[in-house]
Structure 1
Amino acid sequence: MEIAERQTLTRGTRAGYAMGSLATGAFGTVPGLLLLPYLTDTMGITAFLAGLLVLVPKAWDVLINPVAGRISDRTQSRWGARRPYLLFGGLAMAACFAAIFIAPFGTGGGGGLYVAVAFLVTATAFAFFQVPYVAMPAEMTDGYAERTRLMTWRIALLAVAILVSGAVSPIVVKAGGDGISGHRWMGLFVATVIAVGAVGAFIGTRRAPLGTVTESEPSLRAQLAVARRNRPFVILLITFVIQSIGIATMLAGVKYVAEHVLERPDDGPTLLFVCFVAPALLVMPLWTRLGTRIGKKSSLILASVIFTAGALGLLSAGVAPPWVAYLVTAVIGCGYAGQQVFALSMLPDCIAYDAMRTGKRQAGVFTGLWTAGETLGLALGPGIYAAVLAISGYVSSSTGIAAAQSSGARLGVLLGFTAIPALLVGPIIVLLRRYDLTEQQLHTVE
């Protein structure tokens, strides 16, 4: 791809690009929040098997995402290399998402297998939307600060998408009668959010500088070799993937903690989730200013420390009043917002660095690997949480109402929500000390 000549984008273009976050936010949030409880407490699947059914389709994306990146790198159309996938991949993802919760085979093993297959197809459609979508910022502007502004718009709308889809979906399930019926209505609701985001991003980026397809590496192996030679990208990717596992593990436990630790099954999931996401909308401008003052890497480290400290603080949720858990969760949400802003604004920097160093624009290679890693993290999180539930003796149900749990199971619910995310998000920030890509380097690379 040729490097875009425009440093500054219009507000309309920023907002249009950010619309895609409605699709990525909804798909990235709702399965992690509700799919595991749906399998254990509605379909009657054991916690261990439910974890596998969630993990395998997502693990498939680890293989298909780099392929999607390679294909989009080589695509030529009157809409550009990436935008066709925003439209067709996004609409396919919406239709497939609704199909996940139709439950044509009822509960039990057959119903669980259907969910896994439908989820796999949806994850494939998501790959062909997400990879081109994430590749676009590096081709829309070559401005170091402009990428942060673009990501701020994206993360702001992502926070809205996560907040709406994650907070409203449990309400829709409840209003639809719980069980299979309620989840069918929820599937239609989320599918609508995804479709709006996909169409909005397609239309909103029609005037964005998108680059043109040029020389690309001939094979996937060669493309992987290119990525390995980009040291800042490798460091950032490893950090992001491991932290994504921690965040996804916490997300998978929201409904379980609300029901079995806070003992608020009706409003607890929504309140806990809102406390996690809502602060992002308030602190996003503050993170942007801080990033300008102390740098993206330092800001990412600080955000990770805040997240980790909050997760450890949530260990008190078993004995403290519920409002304490909500307050600490809001602190965690502030850290989460910073993690997302700076990791996603550093990715286009890594891509631009490679383009300036090699003379080739292959954003799809890097975003394919990035989204594959993110997808793996989002898959492993619920899998790890399900394993903790299984080890602690969690009892499944096919009634749509969670069964009563032993004290050991309730402890597993809490530890999977707090200690494990803290251990994943915190220590890996040591690796970021080796990340040395700066704005000055981007302007001096030959």
Structure 2
Amino acid sequence: MGDCECIHEAAEQTLYTKERKTMMEQKAKLTMGTKIVYGLGDFASQLVWTFVGNYLTVYYTDVVGLAPAIASAIMLIARIWDGVNDPMFGAIAERTKSKWGRFRPYILVFSPILAIFNVLAFTAPFGNKTAGVIWAAFSYIGLGMLYTAVNLSYGSLANVMTADSQERVELNSWRMIGTNLGSCFLSAISMPLILKFSRAEAPTGMGYTLTTLVFAICSLPLFFLVFKCCKEVIQPRQDVNQIPIKTTIKVVVTNKPLLIIFFTLLAYMTGMFGRIGLAIYYFMYNMHRFDLISILMMAPTICGAVAIFLTRKLVNYVPKKTLGAISLTGCGISLLILYMIPASNATMVIIMSGVYGLFSFAVPLFMGSVPECIDYAELNTGVRSDGTSYAFTSLATKFGSAFGASVGLMIMSYFGYVANAEQTAEALKGINIAVNIFPAVTFFVALVIWMFYPIDAKKATEIREELEKKAE
């Protein structure tokens, strides 16, 4: 009997030691190396998804020859499917059990397939006929599903790598630094590479395809590095597999703070990605400056990376709601000024593009708030839904990227845009509205929504402390 008691006591001590170790890991500060590696994951994502956002629309209309309405429809259909696919994959991911955790395995397995579909999206084996439209839809929708598997898993890691809310904001700041540096890298070399591979003065289909191939190959070692170095230490208090998926989804869609983040991101990303996807038209047709495309696209991304790096610590001293409001207001006003600047004044366009970038530091604040929303729901419902919650916010990003490009194309079409032609004054006005006025309006909408976010630093700490008490 004494031996049994000793064994039982030893087992309890072992369990206690493991629990204490887990709690210490959750509270431990992440190393700078880990944060930088995490940021590289979004650099890799930019090589895939931002290149698509920057160039796929113009590739469809000006190279493949698809009508703007058809290109817009393909993007909207893909996003409607994402409305089903993303939450479904999030629920699957957070129920995954493996020696690598819940999310990391999907980065390892799907990133090579994502690279393949990235290249397929920039091929047009059937031209612009019916088969070509089907191919474009197949490759783009497939690319979106694979990007969900990789990027949703990558984004969810920030929620489970640490329990420290400030560290989570830091992770998302490094992520956005990776985003901006990746965008800057793409802006600097994409068009020169496209033209080099095209072996012509204007971009060709082969130029786009080979450039995409280079970027897809470069993304793989970065994704593998994230898989290797970014460990998961936060686990749900319950066995997620015992919770019905419909319960998880209900917890997510009734999470009021998360809904505010969703709609803030939706409005913000609609403007941001809409501008990214359509700015190339402004540079080509309004400014007629192929020689400045790299500089014009680099200006906001370089300034954005600098702004995020400089402001990543400010959340410790300034309320994030205030910082977010400053960012959104500055973005909106700078774009209104850009609309009024003559396209011929390249110097002022570059300067104000940089100013716009300097105010683009809000996304880490939004994304860094997602773990707080997850903690909030866990405290109130007992259900932790990292994957599904991140899928929900990821959906806002995807919807925003599609809505921005689609609405922008509709605006351009309404004003008379014709591919590969000299544009009328009305068409040029439409391009300017789509690139500057439309995103400015979405930023102001995001500002209004963001002001309703209810969780501040004090509230987030209280929630986390209550969860830790329940875990003891």
Letter of the 2:293 counterpart: P
Give deviations 1:107-135, integer Å, cap 9, x for gaps: 44433431221111111111111222211
Task: Note if contact 1:147-1:345 (Cα within 8 Å) is conserved in structure 2.
Answer: yes
Q: Larger RCO: Structure 1 or Structure 2 (Cα < 8 Å, ≥ 6 residues apart)?
A: 1
Q: Distance in 2 between matches of 1:260 and 1:14?
A: 41
Aligned pair count reads 437
> In the alignment, which of 200, 204, 227 is matched to residue 229 of structure 2?
204
> In the alignment, which of 414, 419, 427 is matched to residue 409 of structure 1?
427
> In the alignment, which of 396, 412, 416 is matched to residue 373 of structure 1?
396
**What is the RMSD of the two structures over their aligned residues, measured on CA atoms?**
2.0
Unaligned regions of 5+ residues in structure 2, if any?
Answer: 1-21, 467-472
Question: Is residue 274 of structure 1 aligned with residue 295 of structure 2?
Answer: no
Report the Cα offset of residue 69 of structure 1: 0.6
Q: Distance in 1 between matches of 2:212 and 2:30?
A: 35
Task: Note if contact 1:306-1:332 (Cα within 8 Å) is conserved in structure 2.
Answer: yes
Question: Is residue 318 of structure 1 aligned with residue 342 of structure 2?
Answer: yes
Distance 1:69-1:297 versus aligned 2 partners, 3 A rule: same
Report the Cα offset of residue 320 of structure 1: 5.3
1:404 alignment partner, SS class? coil
Distance 1:269-1:56 versus aligned 2 partners, 3 A rule: farther
Q: Distance in 2 between matches of 1:166 and 1:119?
A: 22
> In the alignment, which of 386, 393, 414 is matched to residue 363 of structure 1?
386
Task: Note if contact 1:59-1:379 (Cα within 8 Å) is conserved in structure 2.
Answer: no
Give deviations 1:261-308, integer Å, cap 9, x for gaps: 1111x2233222101101122222321233222121111111001100
Matched residue, 2:469? none
Q: Distance in 1 between matches of 2:435 and 2:338?
A: 8
> In the alignment, which of 426, 434, 440 is matched to residue 422 of structure 1?
440
Report the Cα offset of residue 380 of structure 1: 0.9
Q: TM-score, with normalisation over the residues of structure 1?
A: 0.93
Q: Which stretch shows the higher mean deviation, 175-184 or 218-227?
A: 218-227
Letter of the 2:442 counterpart: L
Report the Cα offset of residue 26 of structure 1: 2.7
Q: Distance in 1 between matches of 2:454 and 2:398?
A: 26
Report the Cα offset of residue 353 of structure 1: 2.6
Question: Is residue 434 of structure 1 aligned with residue 447 of structure 2?
Answer: no
Task: Note if contact 1:314-1:418 (Cα within 8 Å) is conserved in structure 2.
Answer: yes
Q: Which has the larger radius of gyration?
A: 2
Distance 1:49-1:106 versus aligned 2 partners, 3 A rule: closer
> In the alignment, which of 200, 204, 210 is matched to residue 185 of structure 1?
210
2:460 alignment partner, SS class? helix
Give deviations 1:400-446, integer Å, cap 9, x for gaps: xx321111111111110111111111133122222120222123233
Q: Distance in 2 between matches of 1:193 and 1:243?
A: 29
Q: Distance in 1 between matches of 2:142 and 2:187?
A: 22
Q: TM-score, with normalisation over the residues of structure 2?
A: 0.88
Task: Note if contact 1:303-1:339 (Cα within 8 Å) is conserved in structure 2.
Answer: yes
Distance 1:109-1:174 versus aligned 2 partners, 3 A rule: farther
Q: Distance in 2 between matches of 1:330 and 1:181?
A: 32
Matched residue, 2:314? 290
Q: Distance in 1 between matches of 2:423 and 2:221?
A: 40
Give deviations 1:372-398, integer Å, cap 9, x for gaps: 1211111111101111121111112xx
Matched residue, 2:168? 147
2:64 alignment partner, SS class? coil
Task: Note if contact 1:233-1:350 (Cα within 8 Å) is conserved in structure 2.
Answer: yes
Question: Is residue 160 of structure 1 aligned with residue 181 of structure 2?
Answer: yes
1:353 alignment partner, SS class? helix
> In the alignment, which of 84, 88, 101 is matched to residue 67 of structure 1?
88
Letter of the 1:404 counterpart: E
2:163 alignment partner, SS class? coil
Task: Note if contact 1:312-1:422 (Cα within 8 Å) is conserved in structure 2.
Answer: yes
> In the alignment, which of 202, 216, 222 is matched to residue 247 of structure 2?
222
1:102 alignment partner, SS class? coil
Matched residue, 2:16? none
Matched residue, 2:257? 232
Q: Distance in 1 between matches of 2:224 and 2:273?
A: 27
Identity rate, percent: 21
Letter of the 2:446 counterpart: I
Distance 1:62-1:124 versus aligned 2 partners, 3 A rule: same
Q: Distance in 1 between matches of 2:83 and 2:111?
A: 18
Task: Note if contact 1:232-1:436 (Cα within 8 Å) is conserved in structure 2.
Answer: yes
Task: Note if contact 2:334-2:356 (Cα within 8 Å) is conserved in structure 1.
Answer: yes
Report the Cα offset of residue 173 of structure 1: 1.2
2:26 alignment partner, SS class? coil
Unaligned regions of 5+ residues in structure 1, if any?
Answer: 397-401
Q: Distance in 2 between matches of 1:214 and 1:20?
A: 29
Distance 1:60-1:228 versus aligned 2 partners, 3 A rule: closer
Question: Is residue 95 of structure 1 aligned with residue 98 of structure 2?
Answer: no
Q: Distance in 2 between matches of 1:193 and 1:354?
A: 38
Matched residue, 1:342? 365
- Where does 1:245-284 land on structure 2 (aligned, <5 Å)? 245-264=270-289, 266-284=290-308
Give deviations 1:197-242, integer Å, cap 9, x for gaps: 321211222x452536843374443223212332211111111111
Q: Distance in 2 between matches of 1:244 and 1:271?
A: 22
Task: Note if contact 1:169-1:186 (Cα within 8 Å) is conserved in structure 2.
Answer: yes
Task: Note if contact 1:228-1:234 (Cα within 8 Å) is conserved in structure 2.
Answer: yes
Distance 1:213-1:92 versus aligned 2 partners, 3 A rule: farther
Task: Note if contact 1:6-1:140 (Cα within 8 Å) is conserved in structure 2.
Answer: no
Letter of the 1:321 counterpart: N
Matched residue, 1:399? none
Task: Note if contact 1:233-1:347 (Cα within 8 Å) is conserved in structure 2.
Answer: yes
Question: Is residue 15 of structure 1 aligned with residue 36 of structure 2?
Answer: yes
Task: Note if contact 1:55-1:380 (Cα within 8 Å) is conserved in structure 2.
Answer: yes
Report the Cα offset of residue 358 of structure 1: 3.5
Letter of the 2:64 counterpart: M
Report the Cα offset of residue 359 of structure 1: 3.6
Task: Note if contact 2:248-2:383 (Cα within 8 Å) is conserved in structure 1.
Answer: no
Q: Which stretch shows the higher mean deviation, 22-31 or 170-179?
A: 22-31
